[in-house]
Amino acid sequence: MNTDIDLSDVQGNILRGYRFPDVRHYALSVTDVAGGKQLLTALVDGHGDLYPLATAEEWSDDKPDACVNLAITAPGLTALGVPDDMLKQFPASFRAGAAQQAVDSAASSDFGRNGVGLGDIGESAPVNWVVGGPSNPEIHLLVSIWSDETSAPARDRIEAALLAVCAANGVKERSRHTGHTFANNHVHFGFRDGVSQPQVAGRPGNRIADMQPDVPTGDFLLGKGYRNSYGGNFIEGIPGELAGNGTYAVFRILEQDVQAFDALIERTGRRFGIDPELVAAKLVGRWRSGESLAMRPNEPRLFAPARLPDGQPNLAPDKVDMSKPFTPVDEAELNEFDYAPTYDHPMQYDDADGLRCPLGAHMRRLNPRGGTAAGIQHNHRIIRRGVPYGPEHRPGDPDDREERGLLGIFICGDIANQFEFLQMMWANDDVGTPGVLGTRDPIIGWQPPEGGTFRLPTGDNRGDVVISDLPRLVTTRGALYCFMPGIAGVKWLAGR
């Protein structure tokens, strides 16, 4: 099994997060094969102020002030001249694309059993999307510029250079999507995000403390002799020169209803006599600080208690020092846990009943770790590179009717087995073990019009507190299934 990765061939945001606070994604259409290839050449080599694609190589000197990445849809491969018989070697989900998979998965009983599929129905249906839907222009490329616009603005000049190359080569900008991270990497709803990521075998950088084993390289990178969790390689029949060191990226624009989240935790807290902050933590599986309920079931420790001395919820970053970086000791606290004893950690507390972290909590459903979800052990990990969009909204702020949410990038070597499995089965399917039976993911799941259900075991004489008026909190506003080639693959596509 090969875990020796040629980092100069792997696009940079796959194996590590850049930790840039700003991102802008450009959805582009190629109108002419030769022009598309010219753009790829400019992206590989750099062109004036357009930086060459960032790779996974360690930064030898200072961190650059920006990084550029490229992802390509299935129609994009065709627009760049990839012949049909080669395209057919790519997996069916990728070729069908996000919108078609949304429709097919909801219509087919092969995907889950409740007519929801990926969950992109109703308001979230592709017909309502701003990108990637049937009423939007066909998108071929997604170019992303990651930067820090506050301390080292770089985007304007890179953008101008990118758009000039596009204009000179018949590549049209169809939409742009701008995100900005809030202090200490917290996202709308007020939680620190990007805390847990799979540790990919062979990736550079320090290994952070985590009770989970490393994930095989082949779950995230194609070809090159890597092995995936099933002992094979997701590249299958795709030529290695195109797909080696490539992977897939699912781009999703997920609108978040922050008012509805705040109202939900307040009214649930009032109704059942539970601190709303504990309700919030139970829905996600971590406290806002990022601490897992599996380790700190009663109150968070890193920042401050959930309530200030005046009784007000201790949520707002101006009251809690959310900008304070975690020390390495703090970081070690965040992922060194499991929900069940495992072979490697036989003494681990067994939270089989979800008394600490409910079985239905967002992060437990989507990564049950050593426990199980719906009786299944997991090998469905994804790398998440999401950044919030829209203005920050703090609890108690009046409803400003602004749209806000997450520009999500979900990276995996197999869209069907990783992203779609999570979205269809663990987030949106209502069959499963007793703790999740009849429920869907409280954060990202579709919920029935009468309100969804969430079980919060208390372990006292109240038994399970059952929340039965869960609104749908996240609505899909757009999506693209993309392939992220390695650098050699981009060159190959450019005809070099």
- Rounded to an integer, what distance in angstroms lies between the CA atom of residue 381 and that of residue 393? 30
Can residue 362 be called a binding residue for ligand HEM (CB under 6 A)? yes
Residue with token string 């949304």: 102
114, amino acid identity: N
- The reply to whether 415 sits near ligand HEM by the rule CB under 6 A is no
Candidates 14, 200, 279, 284: give the one binding ligand HEM (CB under 6 A).
284
Q: Which stretch binds ligand HEM (CB under 6 A): 159-167, 238-246, 267-275, 406-414?
A: 406-414
b/e 185-213 (16+ beta carbons within 10 angstroms → b): bbbbbbbbbbbbbbbbbbbeeeeeebbbe
Largest Cα span, the chain: 70
The nearest distance, CB 210 to ligand HEM, in angstroms, is 9
Strand partners, 255: 405, 475
Q: Which is nearer to ligand HEM, 197 or 245 (CB)?
A: 197
Say whether 468 sits in a helix, a strand or coil: strand
423 binds ligand HEM (CB under 6 A): yes
Q: Which stretch in 24-32, 165-173, 265-273, 421-429 sits in contact with ligand HEM by CB under 6 A?
A: 421-429
Interface segment toward ligand HEM; rule CB under 6 A; list 3-11, 39-47, 193-201, 317-325: 193-201
Asked if 475 interacts with ligand HEM (CB under 6 A), we say no
Helices (H), 273-327: 276-284
Q: Is 196 in the site for ligand HEM (CB under 6 A)?
A: yes
Nearer to ligand HEM, 47 or 365 (CB): 365
Report the residue number, 284 or 436, with the smaller CB distance to ligand HEM.
Answer: 284
Q: Are 314 and 301 in contact (CB under 8 A)?
A: no
Output phi, psi for 25, to 5 deg.
-105, 135
**Should residue 286 be labelled a site residue for ligand HEM when binding is judged by CB under 6 A?**
yes
User: Which residue reads 């001249």 in tokens?
Assistant: 81
- CB 288 to ligand HEM: min, Å: 8
Rg over CA atoms, the chain: 22
Residue 295 in contact with ligand HEM, rule: CB under 6 A = no
Place of tokens 């699912």: 250
Looking at 9, 193, 257, 392, which residue binds ligand HEM (CB under 6 A)?
Answer: 193
Residue 244 binds to ligand HEM (criterion: CB under 6 A): no
By CB under 6 A, is residue 322 in contact with ligand HEM? no
Tell me the per-residue interface mask from 428 to 467 with ligand HEM, x by CB under 6 A, - otherwise: ---------------xx-----------------------
- In angstroms, the CA 23 to CA 260 distance is 26
Candidate list 191, 248, 303, 483; residue touching ligand HEM; CB under 6 A? 191
Question: In the bound complex, what is the minimum distance in angstroms from residue 250's beta carbon to ligand HEM?
Answer: 8
Binding test (CB under 6 A) with ligand HEM, winner from 71, 139, 474, 493: 474
Q: Is 189 in the site for ligand HEM (CB under 6 A)?
A: yes
Scored b (16 or more CB within 10 A) or e, 129-160 reads bbbbbeebeebbbbbbbbbbbeeeebbeebbe
User: What does the DSSP assignment read for 215-281?
Assistant: BPGGGTS-STT---TTSS-TTTTS-HHHHTT-EEEEEEEEEE-HHHHHHHHHHHHHHHT--HHHHHH
Q: In this chain, which of 35, 223, 395, 408 binds ligand HEM, going by CB under 6 A?
A: 408
Q: Where are the beta strands (DSSP E) in 73-215?
A: 141-147, 171-180, 186-187, 191-192
Of residues 52 through 91, those in contact with ligand HEM by CB under 6 A are none
Nearest to 190 by CA among 404, 472, 338: 404
**Contact stretch for ligand HEM (CB under 6 A) within 43-51, 63-71, 155-163, 360-368:** 360-368
- In angstroms, the CA 382 to CA 464 distance is 31
Q: Which of 139, 195, 279, 494 binds ligand HEM (CB under 6 A)?
A: 195
Q: For ligand HEM, which residue of 15, 80, 187, 383 counts as binding (CB under 6 A)?
A: 187
363 near ligand HEM, rule: CB under 6 A = yes
Position 155 contacts ligand HEM (CB under 6 A): no
Residues that bind ligand HEM (CB under 6 A): 187, 189, 191, 193-196, 254, 256, 284, 286, 362-363, 366-367, 382, 384, 405-406, 408, 410, 419, 422-423, 427, 443-444, 474
